[in-house]
Amino acid sequence: MAQISLTFPDGNAREYDAGVTPAEVAASISKSLSKKAISATVNGAHWDLQWPIDDNAQVAIHTLSDADQALELIRHDCAHIMARAVQDIWPDVKVTIGPVIANGFYYDFDRAEPFTPEDLGAIEKKMREIIALRDPVRTEVWARDRAIQHYKDSDEPYKVELIEAIPGDEPLRMYWHGDWQDLCRGPHLQHTGQVPADGFKLMSVAGAYWRGDSDRQMLQRIYGVAFANKGDLKKHLTMLEEAAKRDHRKLGREMDLFHFEDVAPGSIFWHPAGWRMFQSLIAYMRRRQDAAGYVEVNSPDIMDKSLWETSGHWQNYRENMFLAETQDDREYALKPMNCPGHMMIYNHGVRSYRDLPMKIAEFGKVHRYEPSGALHGLLRVRSFTQDDAHIYCTPEQLADECLKVNDLILSIYRDFGFEDVHVKLSTRPENRIGTEESWDRSEAALQTALETAGMSYSIFEGEGAFYGPKLEYVLRDAIGRDWQCGTLQVDSNLPERFKSTYVTPEGDRQAPVMLHRALFGSLERFTGILIENWAGKLPFWLAPRQVVVASIISDANDYVHDVVNALKAAGIQAEADIRNEKINYKVREHSLAKVPIILAVGEREVTDRTVTVRRLGEKQTSVTSLDEIVSELQKAATPPDLL
RNA sequence: GCUGCUGUAGCUCAGAGGUAGAGCACUCCCUUGGUAAGGGAGAGGUCGAGAGUUCAAUUCUCUCCAGCAGCACCA
C-alpha cells in the first residue's frame, strides 16, 4: 500500500497508508484525542473523521474546543437528530433538508398535521434520548441509482427529487446513526453523544416552501438554536430577550410615537413625539444634502398611467401599485417611486453639460401595495418616505459621483453612531438591457468608489437590477444585527425611456448617466432601526421628547412654566407636568417613557431659580441654575452636523 | 400571497353555550407630597366583521378583515 505523508499544525509530519482516515490518525496520536476528535481539516477542507485521505496533506484534528468546526457540526448533527426524533415519533413524516444557519439549524418536514408547541417539547425530549444513546455516526458512498432506489423504496419523494436535481452522476454520501439514515454532504460528528444535550433548544415552527419556490408545496420548518454548552445557549436566549425588549413596535406604543389601524394596513399614524423625531431626521438630511450640492424638489403623488408605462413600472409592478379611480376616463396611480417625476423635471427644458452633475432630491412619499405577509411595523410598510435623489451626470463624472455618494453615506451613518458598515455590490444579471461597455463602466465606477474609500464589500454576481448594477449599504446595530439601508444604483434605462439628453460642449445631444441613491432608504424604516438600536433611549438631539419639567408642589407650577418657556426659547422640546401627583409618580412615568431629562422643581428651586436634574438611567440627581441647564441642553440638542 | 397561531376596555391579560371581569391608564374628590406607583369614588366593552348551527353564540362552524412567527416578495 502506498505511503502518504501528513503534516500537522505543529509542523511535524508522519507517514500513513494511503486511505487512512482522520479517526485512525487521531488514534495513532493518542487515545484521548481519538475519543475527543470531532472532525478534521484536510488541506483546508472540513473533513469527516471517516473520510479517507489519499494523498499527502496538511491535517488538523478538531475537538469540541475548536469553536468554528464544533458549532457547525453540533448544529448540523442537531438537525439530523431532530429529523430522526420526528420520524421516531411520527414515522410517516417525510424528510427534506436541514441545513445549519446562524446560531442554529432547521429541518423542513412534510406532515399533514401541524406541529404544535407541545410537539416541540416531545421532539426535544426524544432528541436528548438519541444523544444519550451515543450512537456512532456511520457513512458510506453510494451510487446514484442505488440511492434513488433506496428513497423510492422508503417512500421519501423529496430525497428522490433532491438527488435527481444533483447534476452529473457523481456518487452520493449517505449517513446513519442508529437505524436512521439521511442523504448528506457531511461532515458529521463521531457519535450522537458529542452533541451537548443542554446546548440546544427548539424555537419555533413555521411554513416554508419546498425548494424556496412559492409555487410548490408548503412544508413545516422547525427552527432550533444550538451552542457548545448551556452557558452559550443561555447567552443567546438572553440576547433574544434583549432584542424583544427593543422591538420598535413595543417601544413605539410605550413611548407614544405611532400606531396602526385596521383601516390602513401598513400605513403609519404618527403621534406628535414620533413625528418630531421623524422631522428631525428629515431636517438633518436636508442640511446634509444641501451642503453636498443637491437641490430639493417635489413631484406629484398621483400621476397618469401613461407615465408609469413610459417608466416601465406599469409592466413590471402593476400588481403592487395603488390605483386611483376618478370620474374622468383617465387611470392614475400613486407613485411607487420618485424617479419618473424627477425625469419630468430633468426633461423640462434643455440641459447643458454645464448643468451637470445635477442632483435632484425629494423626500417623496411612495406607496407600494406590499404583500400582506411582508408588513412589519415601521420596517416594512405600504407607504413610506424616501430620502431619494437622482444624480444626472456625464459618463466622465460617474466614478467621482459614486465616490461622493459613498463618502456622504459613511459620514451620515457615523453621525448616528454606525461605524460598522458593509456594502453589497450586485453586478449584471443575465436578463439585462444596455451595452456591455455601459455595464463595464457602471460596475467599474461602483467598484472603484468602494476600493478608493477602502470599504469592506462583497460581490453578488448577477444580482443587479436589469437596468444597472447597485450598491447596498448594510449597517450593524448596537446588538450586532445587520440592517440594509442605503442604496446606490446606476441606471441606463430611464434616461433612454424618457429620451433625456444634455447638450455637450460640441453642441451634440447625449444621454446623461443617472444614479439613484437613498441614504436612510425609507425614513420610516430608519426611524424604527434607530429606536431598536438605542432601545428607545435616543441621543438627546433626536429624542422624541427631550425634557419634562415636573412640579413637586403646586406652588411651583408658575415656575414650571417659566422653565419650560426658557427651554423652548432655546429651541429645546420641553413640556410641563403640573399634575396633582407626587414626584415619585411623575419620575416613574417619564422614565418609563424614556424622556432623557426630568427637571423637578419644588420650593427650593423656586426660591433659588434652579432646577433639580434627573437624567434617564441615573438615580443621582443634581441641582443646576436655570441658565446653566438651558445652555447645556441647547448644546445637547444640536444635531451632530451643526456642532 | 402561502403555512401555522392570535383577535375580549386605551394598554396588559383572565373568562365562559344563558348577552362579561382584573390591574394599569382615564374622570372627579381628598391629599402639597423631594426622585420609579398616596387614598377614595366613578365612567368605560355590539367580546375584530359578516353568515350559519342552536330556544339561546362573545364562546361552536364557515367566510372575510387585521395582527404575530416564518416562507415567498421587496422596483
Q: How far is the CA of A259 from the C1' of B10 (A)?
A: 12
CA dist., res. A18 & res. A399, Å (int): 55
Q: How far is the CA of A243 from the C1' of B71 (A)?
A: 22
Query: What's the CATH number of domain A3-63, 3.10.20.30, 3.30.1490.20, 1.10.110.30, 3.40.50.620?
Result: 3.10.20.30
Count CB neighbours of A292 within 10 A.
16
Going A365 to A469 to A379 to A281, the CA torsion angle's sign is: negative
Per the omega criterion (within 30 degrees of 0), is the bond before A99 cis?
no
ipTM above 0.90, yes or no: yes
Each residue of A204-218: pLDDT tens digit?
A: 999 999 999 999 999
Q: How far is the CA of A477 from the C1' of B35 (A)?
A: 32
| Greatest distance between any 2 Cα atoms in chain A | 100
Interior CA angle at A499 toward A497 and A500, to 5°?
115
User: Which nucleotide is nearest, taking the CA of residue A317 and each C1'?
Assistant: B75
Per the omega criterion (within 30 degrees of 0), is the bond before A117 cis?
no
User: Which nucleotide is nearest, taking the CA of residue A611 and each C1'?
Assistant: B34
Query: Identical fold at A68-243 and A258-299+335-533?
Result: no
Residue A188 · residue A80 · CB < 8 Å? yes
pLDDT of residue A167: 83
Q: Span A584-612, mean pLDDT? A: 97
SS3 A486: strand
Q: Which residue is nearest to nucleotide B74 (CA to C1')?
A: A370
Half-sphere exposure at residue A194, Cβ-oriented, CA atoms within 13 angstroms: 26
The three three-digit cell numbers of residue A381, written as one number: 410598510
Q: How far is the CA of A464 from the C1' of B1 (A)?
A: 25
Q: How far is the CA of A254 from the C1' of B17 (A)?
A: 38
pLDDT of residue A274: 97
The beta strand positions in A571-629, using DSSP E, are 574-577, 597-601, 610-615, 621-625
Q: How far is the CA of A255 from the C1' of B27 (A)?
A: 23
On strand B, nucleotides with any atom < 7 Å from a protein CB are 1-5, 7, 11-12, 30-38, 65-75
Each residue of A346-363: pLDDT tens digit?
A: 999 999 999 999 999 999
pLDDT of residue A117: 84
Each residue of A452-480: pLDDT tens digit?
A: 999 999 999 998 988 899 999 999 999 99
Each residue of A512-561: pLDDT tens digit?
A: 999 999 999 999 999 999 999 999 999 999 999 999 999 999 999 999 99
Q: Is the pLDDT of residue A380 over 90?
A: yes
The three three-digit cell numbers of residue A503, written as one number: 447638450
User: Which nucleotide is nearest, taking the CA of residue A610 and each C1'?
Assistant: B34
User: Which nucleotide is nearest, taking the CA of residue A210 and each C1'?
Assistant: B71
Q: Looking at the domain A258-299+335-533, which fold is it?
A: BirA Bifunctional Protein; domain 2 (3.30.930)
* Domains of chain A, residue spans: 3-63, 68-243, 258-299+335-533, 547-642
Q: Span A599-608, mean pLDDT? A: 97
CA dist., res. A324 & res. A301, Å (int): 11
Give me the architecture of the A68-243 domain, per CATH: 2-Layer Sandwich (3.30)
Q: How far is the CA of A295 from the C1' of B72 (A)?
A: 39
Q: Is the pLDDT of residue A1 over 80?
A: no
Q: Helices (H), strands (E): how many in chain A?
A: 20, 34
Q: How far is the CA of A89 from the C1' of B16 (A)?
A: 35
A168: left (phi over 0), alpha (psi -120 to 50) or beta: left
SS3 A462: coil
User: Which nucleotide is nearest, taking the CA of residue A321 and each C1'?
Assistant: B75
Q: Which residue is nearest to nucleotide B38 (CA to C1')?
A: A582
CA dist., res. A224 & res. A478, Å (int): 24
Each residue of A147-193: pLDDT tens digit?
A: 999 999 999 999 999 999 988 778 899 999 999 999 999 999 999 99
Q: How far is the CA of A366 from the C1' of B20 (A)?
A: 44
Give CA torsion, residues A229, A235, A236, A240, to 10 deg. Answer: 160
Q: Is the pLDDT of residue A430 over 90?
A: no
Instruction: Please name which of A321, A333, A355, A364 lies closest in space to residue A516, comparing C-alpha atoms.
Output: A364
Instruction: Please name which of A612, A559, A618, A624 lies closest in space to residue A591, comparing C-alpha atoms.
Output: A618
The three three-digit cell numbers of residue A292, written as one number: 453636498
The three three-digit cell numbers of residue A268, written as one number: 403609519
CA dist., res. A386 & res. A6, Å (int): 59
A507: left (phi over 0), alpha (psi -120 to 50) or beta: left
Q: Which residue is nearest to nucleotide B48 (CA to C1')?
A: A262
What one-letter code names the amino acid at A282? I
CA dist., res. A377 & res. A529, Å (int): 11
pLDDT of residue A498: 96
Active-site positions of A read: 339, 368, 386, 388, 390, 470, 516
Residue A106: phi and psi, rounded to 5, are -145, 170
User: Which nucleotide is nearest, taking the CA of residue A607 and each C1'?
Assistant: B34
pLDDT of residue A458: 94
User: Which nucleotide is nearest, taking the CA of residue A219 and each C1'?
Assistant: B3
Going A210 to A215 to A216 to A219, the CA torsion angle's sign is: positive
Q: How far is the CA of A380 from the C1' of B48 (A)?
A: 23
Q: b/e per residue, A502-520, with b = 16+ CB within 10 A?
A: beeeeeeeebbbbbbbbbb
Q: Span A568-592, mean pLDDT? A: 96
Read off the pLDDT band of A433 (50, 70, 90): confident
Reported pTM: 0.94
Q: Which residue is nearest to nucleotide B65 (CA to C1')?
A: A262
Residue A46 · residue A96 · CB < 8 Å? no
Mean pLDDT of chain A: 95
Residue A289: phi and psi, rounded to 5, are -70, -40
User: Which nucleotide is nearest, taking the CA of residue A487 and each C1'?
Assistant: B75
Each residue of A12-39: pLDDT tens digit?
A: 999 999 999 999 999 999 999 999 999 9
**Superfamily of the domain at A547-642:** Anticodon-binding domain (3.40.50.800)
